[in-house]
Structure 1
């Protein structure tokens, strides 16, 4: 009994000594007089840190006595540092004030790291565009609006039917991944259709990453990615309307309605586009641009949950009717040889959702998408019927190991099912009887990303992804990013090195050529197309004495591309032969953006 009392006395004495040699820091984080919820607070050079509550209040306890720099940051605000002295056995009160970003570098981005970060702190160069920019040069759809972005080029591949794709830094459209709310909804069969019909009333911002992003997003993100972030229904205007028309007699109407229902908020957005004028300026009897009638309906729901956990569900339906050809063509001539016309009917629906698992102290995010794209096309007498279904699921775990160390890991699964009416998805059964053979590709994967804050000014990001493709086998894609910048965001350098890959869908990218009686031949095991990219980016923000601001954004890029998979139609007129081409391709260049904002209107 005496020994037990002695041990208890020693234990209590140690606690008392420890309490006398440590102190605490408490306070409230504010910005422009308003409380900042869930701000991050930590002591520089230590592993001691905490997160403010919903009212901006924070407490740092058991802090060894001494002098420190208290670092605080929050999404959308510039980080700040304050000197603080901690006395043993005492509580120091220190209220913190965060300033709003004075330039675009303070905006929030997610595409570079799958985490919400201030743009100036992101080790990956992410370009950010809001609907305000697009309204300065109105267009009927997002596909045309992207032409305003430096290094991004929407290209029209067919003047008759109006299909096209998006090029980034000189690489072809199939190497650009298009995301909606961070999820790959737009497949290779529908790149241009996925961007048409997205109402401006729906877009919160558009994020563009130039260069390979396969480490986080998998196949198709070789040239870069475009991530369309939709509005949060809880913050969207209760009603919005945008009517747009031109002297060519095309009309575009966007309508948006948002409301709150209990703990849920919903946003319903509709896009209608009508252009039915068969314009023929050169008098050749052929349409100069295709006619289009389009309807798109989008509905998004979000739910308020404890601890700001994420829960949302959205769906979109899209239908379009395009025509191009001879002026006297009518729907009765569809598929006939008397009068030439190209008619494309597109029907598509999408479902997507995100749910943060209720695991205390952990950020586990489950997300998933499913889309079906139905194509009904007639190119003269050539009929093309295609159906593609793409399912995607992803589970990510983000952990802040310390104030300077963030870890992100994830597991993904993607399946692509495709069928059409061409010999590409046909085979022969017993007695040479024709049999349908839809194409199915499954792509499970794992990825990890480690972000280190080496110094207050420098960040190192390392990432690695492993995918197993049911057709190509194992695929590895690493990346390395380094960022150095001043704490106020006025000057930032970024260097990125990454590997991208693309698994080619043989039957969706040259569908018009696959009609007829040709036999599809794959004489060798195809390797995925690969690329290595180096990108150096520099941001500079200048505040002039007159009050005007100047922002410079410059990049130098170099991409080395191999294993191009291309169809061979010439070797045998009865066959389409797919193989990896020998050799390589190089895309290199320089971009510079300069923005000037005057102090007066």
Structure 2
């Protein structure tokens, strides 16, 4: 791996000498996440957040999770990797795309965003809520679409960053552009020695173990004539994680190896300036192998494997009927397959879907977007989801937006077919399709002391669904100032949660899954962008969030819930005592100041605040109702200082978590202050 990476980066460095430099041209901001084809951002009536390449580069961040953490309404949650919380909904409800196609390889519902390098990202598009008709399951909270580089000219770059804890990021790319064909090659290596928040711990007590990962990608586009365009995007990722840890006082050593790939060939046909049709294939796979043993005895602690394959064929046709009407029709088929040590055998599913979207502009200042999506899955059956959005230009300085949409999340293979027993602690987790058979086996083996819920009452899992509402305004009160305000509400039904269904003789439980909760998230987001001067730009955002379980609210109103207050007294809870669902902060904000001058100097300082949030139920009533059950708030400050040297060279230094925030109990994802230096060559 290292040799191949070094060889490719050396080739990139050599090609820099042949690079052709062109003057940058201003290109009007476009998006593709609201439809299947590029269109001007100002034509889209749904709220879309766009993070451009320049902002990504100047932040000094190297992982996607670092960039998203600084965006309004997004919170990075460490749970089986760095997942993203959107409008109060966890990472399993957000769809992560690369060039419009989903990434696979989730662990317990979380797709680890720290495994995605930002090196060859052109822009990131964020849609909050299911306001677009294009996406199916897993998009209840929204969509994050990563758009990679498509070469417009010959160019090459090489980037090397070194930071605290022997953290090294090396990336490079080559762009080749000819009259009919363009090619982008990219490679990245990222590694760290890990860190420990407990100063007395040895290598087996590290908070994060050493790791290294590699990402390779290609993007090829061929235009034989004005009517046809052929494209091929490929990506390969490999990660090797160290596995030293302490379990029940014993030293454990092992490894975890992860691989995934994406292959996306597609053909686009434009017979005239009104019709665009695209046929695409998507092939993706994710593999994980892990093994852990006690160092002294050699006893096997855990050995697992996971294989996931996701294949899709889809076709879209976009027709611009006239200046006012535009339509999109699409259909596709998905085949998914999973094989894992925690499933009894190979599991498969297939899905057919069709969608339609209609954009209507009654007048220049009024836009309407309506759509639907129909899915028919071999496991959970049919789903129909409508969407509607509109935007009205009240004046030159004020635009109003509103949208409503229904989304769904299908039960995953884990919730349906999992058959897992923790050999050290002794608990078991069974998917709903395995409950009856596996529980009967445990009873025959004499492992069950008590049945808490009859398997016949578990039933068939229904997809989780939500209605999402967004109402907002975009204001430009004075030149160089933009203010965005968005109020949102998400009502989620059939939320899938774990529940104990049996108690074992060892005192541990057997768990399964069931639809029973109704929850809502609601709040307000504001974002401010101010061009202070030719060199200074100020950006800031704030979110107020409420996330609560409706059933718990009703029980509290009925006087059925008791708890311990902040003074240690048992009380009957009132509505004001219920803080909300765990892991959600009522208040969060970010602020960023960017500076750039004509001499090539650039500087920025970026702060993010997360308010206190529910962490653990300590009084046993199942809810968060006193201050001792909250994790404290925190503030992170990041900064960068850099200089462009002789056009082709960029040198920058920076610090992530400049104020050295640490909290081993609540926030082990923060290693304290990280200092780094970065050198980049661009031709």
Q: Which residue of 2 aligns with 1:183?
A: 101
| Structure 2 residue 320 is matched with structure 1 residue 368 | no
2:296 matched to which residue of 1?
none
Structure 1 gaps of 5+ residues are 1-76, 78-99, 328-334, 427-436
- Taking structure 1 as reference, are residues 393 and 150 closer, same or farther at Cα in structure 2, changes over 3 Å only? same
Instruction: Find the aligned partners of 2:119 and 2:195 in 1 and give their Cα distance.
Output: 29
Tell me the residue number matched to 1:146.
68
> Structure 2: how far apart are the matches of 1:452 and 1:196?
39
Partner Cα distance (1:442, 1:414) in 2 = 5
Instruction: Select the structure of larger CA radius of gyration.
Output: 1
The residue correspondences of 1:87-486 to structure 2 (distance < 5 A) are 107-158=29-80, 163-189=81-107, 195-213=113-131, 215-235=133-153, 238-260=155-177, 263-285=180-202, 286-307=205-226, 309-323=228-242, 325-326=244-245, 338-341=250-253, 343-357=255-269, 359=271, 362-378=275-291, 381-422=301-342, 425-426=343-344, 437-485=345-393
CA distance in 2, matches of 1:191, 1:134: 27
Distance in 1, matches of 2:209 and 2:416, equals 21
* Partner of residue 42, structure 1: none
Counterpart pick for 1:565 among 488, 492, 496: 496
User: How big is the shift at 1:524?
Assistant: 1.5
Q: CA deviation at 1:569?
A: 3.9
Aligned to 1:540: 475
* Partners of 1:214 and 1:499 within 8 A in 2: no
Deviation of 1:373 after TM superposition, in Å, equals 0.5
Determine if contact 1:375/1:385 at 8 Å carries over to the other structure. yes
Q: How far is 1:394 from its partner?
A: 1.3
Give 1:121 shift. Answer: 1.9
**Is the contact between residue 493 and residue 519 of structure 2 (CA under 8 Å) also seen in structure 1?**
yes
User: Can you list the C-alpha shifts for 1:52-107, whole angstroms capped at 9, x where unaligned?
Assistant: xxxxxxxxxxxxxxxxxxxxxxxxx9xxxxxxxxxxxxxxxxxxxxxx79xxxx51
The corresponding residue for 2:18 is none
Distance in 2 between residues matched to 1:543 and 1:346, nearest whole Å: 50
Q: 1:461 to 1:577 in 2, by over 3 A?
A: same
Matched residue of 1:496: which SS? strand
Instruction: Identify the residue that residue 69 of structure 1 maps to in structure 2.
Output: none
Q: Report deviation, 1:584.
A: 0.6
Residues 389 and 525 (structure 1), Cα distance of their counterparts in 2 relative to 1, 3 Å cut: same
TM-score by length of 1: 0.72
Query: Cα gap change, 1:193/1:140 in structure 2, threshold over 3 Å: closer, same or farther?
Result: farther
Change in 2 beyond 3 A, CA 1:182/1:453: same
User: What's the offset of the Cα at 1:539?
Assistant: 1.4
Quote the residue 1:60 is aligned against.
Answer: none
Q: TM-score, normalised by structure 2?
A: 0.64
> In the TM superposition, what is the alpha-carbon distance from 1:325 to its structure 2 partner?
4.0
Match of 2:528 in 1: 594
Quote the residue 1:93 is aligned against. Answer: none
1:419-472 Cα offsets, whole Å, 9 max, x none, are 1012xx21xxxxxxxxxx211121110111111112211111111111101111
In structure 2, the CA distance between the partners of 1:376 and 1:259, relative to structure 1 (3 Å rule), is same
The alpha-carbon distance between structure 1 residues 112 and 552, as it changes in their structure 2 partners (threshold 3 A), is same
User: 1: CA distance between counterparts of 2:222 and 2:354?
Assistant: 29
Report the CA distance between 1:556 and its aligned residue. 0.8
CA distance in 1 between partners of 2:180 and 2:51 (Å):
30
1:526-571 residue CA offsets vs partner (Å, 9 max, x unmatched): 2110011101121122444xxxx11112111100001112233453
Q: CA RMSD in A?
A: 2.8
Q: How many residues align?
A: 469
Gaps of 5+ in 2: 1-24, 294-300, 434-457, 536-683
Instruction: Assess, with a 3 A threshold, how the Cα gap between structure 1 residues 515 and 304 changes in structure 2: closer, same or farther.
Output: farther
Q: Would you say the 8 A contact 2:227–2:270 is kept in 1?
A: no
Q: Which residue of 2 aligns with 1:504?
A: 411
Helix, strand or coil: the match of 2:134?
helix
Deviations 1:340-373 (A, max 9, x none): 3563210111101221136556311112211110
